Chain A
């Protein structure tokens, strides 16, 4: 039986938007007790659909046509008072950003009890009892303490659990989850997914789960709906869509997803491009008059080598120290100890002035395509500033810049434009060209594809693969995503809490991991089993 039936839904965008409709002529049904995943890339209209159901559309965005029948009434055309009564009681929602979705000035217990208060249910002491019960149910430790805690005292995963507790408070018939695990680490993500599955089994509610990640789909979906630019392109049972996709777009998305398919192993090389020996970086916080000093060993005695022409993946969860390691290796951060040997020079030991002259040897490709280019500088300026500072004649630097823009697939005319004229993926290409312009001995790519949609991610990975062949690049590829690492890297190093846990070839790490933490990470990768089946097939 269907809990919710959406019929011919169209959502209009305000004037001046890049298209007329966020969602056009959309139909879907969410079945009782089942999890329906709505999958799509950014701009597909998947979140707009969810917000429309909750009456949470941003100003200017309106439902222009269609019905969404829930409990026999069309939730889109209900009067506001009735919608308000439905929200939280019959239909509940959880959001992507656990860090900002909770009121920072209100205790967790208060925020949960508020759901009851909003619907005029129970006495204050009953509400407290129920809140405690919910906190226990979503697996938060020490409920008596959590109920009095403020959001900033909780981790991201704990906050998301608190959000889920709120959503479940009144046993809604429909739970809408809008990318609820996207902002979380893989291991936390796995726990939250499991929690949602368990709760669904226990309470039997319907779940509309919005995600961009087919791995997550493989983990939890009963039904799948694939959306693109406001339209449904494919739908069906999860196993069918994943195993036998019909629509081209779905196929492309699935192809783009880094799977367990491992590239052929390359023969190891032994001329080092980068040698890190005993690297240490400690962050100290606090240490005021009355506060004790807190030490965080961000990088704790790490040694590793990237051979010339090799791509080494550096994998870990947030807080593992992988980014600090990368930033220390380029000396954006000065280490507290150890050596960073590049081409015979120890970057860690140079003075600021000497370092400026050696900077060109190691370059970096950054994570955020929107922050990594100066909005007030033309692309040409971004690509030539470095070489010119290093003594390359202006004309030659400009010629090289145009050539590189061709190579990364943008065309030489891109040089005269400003960053805001490019999309995220194009900006990452510019970032890569900028790194190459310095003729570095090593490139450090710090989450270079993490901010991109899957299909764009695949294109940028293809480019990197192509470039490494062409220029025999040495790359330290930092990522939180094991699947991505498997696509590009020769070897993988796993970090946890500042320490190097394990390092080995991709085959070793994936097929015979030695350390418990590596195995845990691999197991947490969403869709891991499904990916393996794919390899076997």
Chain B
């Protein structure tokens, strides 16, 4: 599996890019001990003008490079944690619906469909606006709008695995239903969940940046979306204030998508089934 993944050029590019972003996020406090909010130079210093400030300074004279580095922390944190929370909601719900079927399935799926119908970005906006913007509300809002596809995927996977004969064999062995679900069925649904999770982190990062862009970010955390939002009105005079954070988002999201696709090709090889024929 690792062999198939590592021979995928796109996936390896993704891994390298993501590692770079992670390293920058981790060493940001060491690189810029003054933090992202400190005013260090005159405002509107263009990029590449001074070696110390390769990406220039913003409207208040803060170092854009420092802001980008700290922004990576927020993006990765929100992306990861909100995906985990979404998995915690979606996996159990989908698994129960798919495994037990009947009324459980009916109820769980109506609930999921309902959430899927609501325009997810609009719901995220409403949730963050009502519960006041901070990291917790942002993470929860993103998780709440992201879990329905997980539930549907897990349900579909569980339903297909449940029909396989080894599950019947486990039933005949006298194993209890919950045990069959946990030990026999769920382990066989892990691959697609991993793939989906890596793509969800990417989507979550986009969602967080969009919320911050609209002014719904955590006021105490520097984030890429906030940077673009704050620079929106000065785009004519200071293009770099919007440009670089956007590039940072694209790189991170692209890296995660590349990894997700690589995992998908490595974990769910369509070709391997043909080897049998």
Do these two chains really belong together in a complex?
yes
Residues on A lying within 8 angstroms of B by beta carbon are: 17-18, 42, 58, 327, 330, 332, 356-357, 359-360, 362-364, 366-368, 370-377, 382, 385-386, 389-390, 431, 434, 438
Please state if B188 and A386 are interface contacts (CB–CB under 8 Å). Answer: no
Beyond A360-B174, A434-B173, list 10 extra A-B contacts (CB 8 Å): A332-B171, A359-B172, A359-B174, A367-B165, A377-B166, A377-B187, A385-B183, A386-B173, A389-B175, A438-B173
Chain B residues near A366 (CB, 8 Å)? 165, 168-169
Q: What's the Cα separation between A68 and B170 when bound, in Å?
A: 52
Q: Are A364 and B174 in contact (CB under 8 A)?
A: no
Which of B165, B169, B188, B276 is the one whose CB lies under 8 Å from A375? B188
Residue of B with least CB distance to A369: B165
B177 CB, min distance to chain A CBs, angstroms: 8
Q: List residues of chain A with CB within 8 A of the CB of B165.
A: 366-368, 371-372
Closest CB-CB distance, B174 to chain A, in whole Å?
4
User: Are A372 and B170 CB-contacts (below 8 A) given A17-B275, A377-B184?
Assistant: no
Q: Judge whether B274 and A372 touch: CB under 8 Å.
A: no
Q: Is the CB of B172 within 8 A of A332?
A: yes
User: Is A371 within 8 A of B173, CB to CB?
Assistant: no
**What B residues does A370 contact at CB under 8 A?**
276
Measured between beta carbons, the chain B residues less than 8 angstroms from A389 are: 173-175
A-B contact pairs, 5 of them (CB 8 A): A356-B175, A356-B176, A364-B168, A390-B174, A434-B173
Q: Is the CB of B188 within 8 A of A385?
A: no
How many angstroms between the C-alpha atoms of A10 and B174 in the bound complex? 52
Q: How far is the CA of A373 from the CA of B171 in the complex (A)?
A: 13
A58 and B274: CB pair below 8 A? yes
Q: Which residue from chain A places its CB closest to the CB of B186 in the assembled complex?
A: A376
Kindly provide the distance from the CB of B137 to the nearest chain A CB, expressed in whole angstroms: 38
Max count, chain A CB within 10 A of own CB: residue among B164, B165, B183: B165
B residues in contact (CB < 8 Å) with A? 164-166, 168-176, 183-184, 187-188, 274-277
- In the complex, the chain B residue whose C-beta lies closest to that of A357 is B174
Partner of B173, one of A58, A385, A431: A385
Q: A372 and B169: CB pair below 8 A?
A: yes
Among residues of A, the one whose C-beta sits closest to the C-beta of B176 is A356
Q: Give Cα A34–Cα B176 distance, bound, in whole angstroms.
A: 59
Alpha-carbon distance A356/B164, docked complex (angstroms): 20
Of listed A58, A367, A385, A438, residue having the most chain B CB within 10 A: A385
Q: Known contacts A375-B188, A376-B187, A377-B184; is A356 also within 8 Å of B169 by CB?
A: no
Residues of B within 8 A of A431 (CB): 169
Give the residues in chain A near B171, CB-CB below 8 Å. 332, 359
A330 lies within 8 A of B166 (CB): no
Q: With A and B bound together, what is the CA distance between A447 and B164 in angstroms? A: 15
Contact for A371 among B166, B172, B176, B276, CB less than 8 A: B166
Shortest C-beta distance, A426 to chain B (Å), equals: 14
In the complex, the answer to whether B172 meets A386 with C-beta atoms within 8 Å is yes
Rounded to whole angstroms, the CA-CA distance of A100 and B26 in the bound complex is 53
Determine whether the beta carbon of B169 is less than 8 Å from that of A382.
yes
Chain A hits for B187, CB < 8 A: 374, 376-377
| CB-CB under 8 A for A434 and B174, given A17-B275, A42-B277, A375-B188 | no
Nearest chain B CB to A375 CB, angstrom units: 7
Instruction: Check A434 against B188 for contact (C-beta < 8 Å).
Output: no
Nearest CB on B from A228, distance (A): 17
What distance in Å separates the Cβ of B211 from its nearest Cβ neighbour in chain A? 39
Q: Across the interface, do A330 and B274 meet the contact criterion of CB distance under 8 Å?
A: no
> How far, in Å, is A154 (CB) from chain B's closest CB?
25
Q: A382 to B175: give the CA distance in the assembly, Å.
A: 12
Pairwise interchain contact A371-B164, C-beta atoms closer than 8 A: yes
Closest to B173 in A: A386
Chain B positions within 8 Å of A438 at CB level = 172-173
User: Once bound together, how far apart are the Cα atoms of A431 and B164, in whole Å?
Assistant: 14
Known contacts being A58-B274, A375-B188, is A364 close to B169, with CB within 8 Å? Answer: yes
Query: Which residues of chain A are near B172, meaning CB under 8 Å?
Result: 330, 332, 359, 362-364, 386, 438
A386 adjacent to B168 (CB under 8 Å): no
CA distance A330 to B171 in the complex (A): 10
CB within 8 A of A359: which of B173, B183, B277?
Answer: B173
B168 partner residues in chain A, CB cutoff 8 A: 327, 332, 364, 366
When distances are taken between beta carbons in the complex, the residues of chain B under 8 Å from A375 are: 188
Q: Report the bound CA distance from A18 to B175 in whole Å.
A: 38
Q: How far is the CB of B158 from chain A (nearest CB, A)?
A: 14
Measured CB to CB, the nearest residue on chain B to A355 is B174
> With A and B bound together, what is the CA distance between A367 and B169 in angstroms?
12
Determine the chain B residues whose CB is within 8 A of the CB of A58 once the complex forms: 274
| A362 to B173 Cα, complex, angstroms | 9
- Interface centre among A42, A327, A377, by most chain B C-beta atoms within 10 angstroms, is A377
Q: B133: shortest Cβ distance to chain A, in Å?
A: 43
B210 nearest CB across to chain A (Å): 38
B174 touches which of A332, A356, A368 (Cβ 8 Å): A356
Report the Cα distance A58→B274, complex, angstroms: 10
Cα separation A373 to B184 with both chains bound (whole Å): 10
Q: Which residue on chain B has the smallest CB distance to residue A374?
A: B166
B109 to chain A, nearest CB (A): 16
B218 CB to nearest A CB, Å = 40
Name which residue of chain A comes closest to B276, CB basis: A370
Closest CB in chain B relative to A51 CB, distance in Å:
11
CA distance A524 to B165 in the complex (A): 30
